[in-house]
Structure 1
Amino acid sequence: MNNKLQALSEQELHNLAMNIVGRQLESEGYEFMGVNSKPKKNPQFVCLKEKQLHFIVVRNVVYPNDPGIYDYGLMIKIKEQASKFEAKTYYAGVGLYNAEDQNLPVYLNEAYIVDYNGLLEI
């Protein structure tokens, strides 16, 4: 194995997932009101689109976990918080996998697979 391979840290994986979701939001006309890149500080994005506020929780998901499955308790808490602002709540799970072998970590400057199906309304 090549010793120069450097696995991405949890924060780097989270930032990559945030960038993927952020680009989608930007392309769909969302206006960013607040961005939080800390993995445990929710929501990661507070956006405005067509005068509607949106709270978006982003999670990077490692193999073999399913990026479509979320922490129900956490999302209900976020939804309750969002309702105080008449905001919609979304979960964005982004699977990030090593392109050569999904059982290996994602390495810096190496190919990876993105498994992302867009925003899931809660």
Structure 2
Amino acid sequence: MKNELDKQELHNLAMNIVGEDLEKQGFEFLGIKSELKSNPQFVALKNKKLHFVIVRAITYPEDPKEYDHIFMKSMKEHALKFNASTFYAGVGLANSTNYEKPISREEDYIVNYDGIQEI
């Protein structure tokens, strides 16, 4: 399908979903990195506490709550140098008409996102 979203576009979609959620929760953004492989995606303050948020776009049938424990451990060690908390935000995305089909610009999609989880 030629109008299929690529990895960066799926990542941007996940970033928007998580960004809106963080805003609603009262986070103040200090830094945002939307390029793939740039981590953490969000550096934010809430209640004077620094938070590092790692965002991943996860396509069906993968589980958005599952994450790379080794990578997240290294991110947590990095965050601790800044006295920051580390969070993972997995955003599950699927084509709404057929979960097996890729996500495209022409069709609606379904979001499976339960908020950020502390590491």
TM-score by length of 2: 0.97
The whole-number CA distance in structure 1 between the counterparts of 2:69 and 2:35 is 20
Displacement after TM superposition at 1:6 (Å): 0.7
The whole-number CA distance in structure 2 between the counterparts of 1:38 and 1:8 is 15
Displacement after TM superposition at 1:41 (Å): 1.1
Structure 1 unmatched runs, 5+: none
Deviations 1:6-53 (CA, angstroms, capped at 9, x unpaired): 101110000000000000001111000000001211100000011000
Residues 27-106 of structure 1 mapped to structure 2, 5 A cutoff = 27-106=24-103
User: Which structure 1 residue ranges, 4+ long, deviate > 6 Å from structure 2?
Assistant: none
**Amino acid across the alignment from 2:89:** A
Confirm or deny that 1:8 pairs with 2:5: yes
**Amino acid across the alignment from 2:3:** Q
TM-score by length of 1: 0.95
Equivalent pairs, count: 119
Contact (CA 8 Å) 1:39, 1:59: kept in 2 or not?
no
Displacement after TM superposition at 1:109 (Å): 3.6
Percent identity, aligned pairs only, is 54
The whole-number CA distance in structure 1 between the counterparts of 2:29 and 2:106 is 28
